[in-house]
Each structure stands twice: as structure tokens, then as C-alpha cells.
Amino acid sequence: MSEPLEQILSLYQDEHREIANVDEPQCSLVLFKQADKNFAFYGSQIKEILAERPVSWVPGCPPSLEGVINHRGRVESVININQLIETTGQEVPGKRTILIGRGNKMQSGILIDKLIDVLDVAESLIHPAADNLSAAMQKVVVGIVPVGHEYFALLDLNLVFERYLETSGYDSLA
């Protein structure tokens, strides 16, 4: 140990204090870009991350439904969240990623422009969402997370799926 650290520790020992090792609660986040904006999902809500694959268009579906894919022998819907979070769709160079997410009411693939990272962050770093977000964003954003020099809007997948069901007309079928 370095000498200054030894001195500090000896002061605590002399005062009969215990040095507490505090583990701060962590949560896993999946960070991504959508229309050049930063977003994140709770890692616990994302079951798999897939390289883009062909998505089959389904006639008569709402614009927020990109289509369906065959994933491990199952037909899986793929949602394009641009309309749900009020971002403009744009041609993205390179391959996009599909996140397989599972919420309380449904499971679906979510087409994202670019996966950035999957990392653990301290829960104390998640700040409440700002009041000046658009009405659509206020329905799905649950917090803001600083990562490095950037900020990410934390989306709750259950709220995204609820918004999808509301805007697609499927909510009235239940």
C-alpha cells in the first residue's frame, strides 16, 4: 500500500471505526441509437440481440409493425419504434439490429438503427425524465442516464408495447 493510504487506514483503526464496503445496486442497460438519438432499454427486458435478418412485410398491419421474422422456428413480430418515440425514419448505412424484448403483455422484436453497448450502471445514475419531453416520449421514457459524455433516454419496454398496442388499434381488440 502507499504510505498516505496506510496513514488514513491507521487513523480509522485507531478510532475503532469499521470501513464499510458498500455495493451500490446496479442494473444492466442495452444502449442504442435510433435516428441519431440515444436510447436505452433495461437489459432484463431484452432477451436476445440479433443481427438484422430479412423481415417479411405483412399487408394491412400498422406502420409501426415492420413485419415478421422466423426466429428459432417461431414467427416473431418486429416493431419499428420510430413512430412510437417520434423519431424520423431514415436510411441507416450498414445493418440494423433486432432486439427481442419481452414485456408483461407481449413479446416482439424491435428494429433499432445501431446497437452501442450493453453495460451495467449504478441505479443512482438514472435520473427522472425531463418534463419538457414530447407527449409521446413522456409515455415511454422513464429516466435519463449519463454514459460518458452522452445522455441516453431510458425506455421501459412495457410502456413501449402499451403505446404500440394503443396506436396500432390492437388494444381495443382485447
For 94-121, write each residue's pLDDT tens digit.
678 999 999 998 999 999 999 999 999 9
Which of 3-12, 50-59, 95-104, 148-157 is the least confident region?
A: 3-12
pTM: 0.80
For 12-50, write each residue's pLDDT tens digit.
655 555 555 567 899 999 999 998 899 999 999 999 999
Please say whether the beta carbons of 68 and 76 come within 8 A: yes
CATH number assigned to the domain covering 24-169: 2.40.50.180
Burial 71-90 (b: 16+ CB within 10 A, else e): eeeeebbbbbbbbbbebeee
For residue 37 the three cell numbers come to: 438519438
Q: What are phi and psi of 126, to 5 degrees?
A: -85, 115
Residues near 74 by beta carbon (within 8 Å), at least 6 away in sequence: none
What's the pLDDT score for residue 174?
Answer: 47
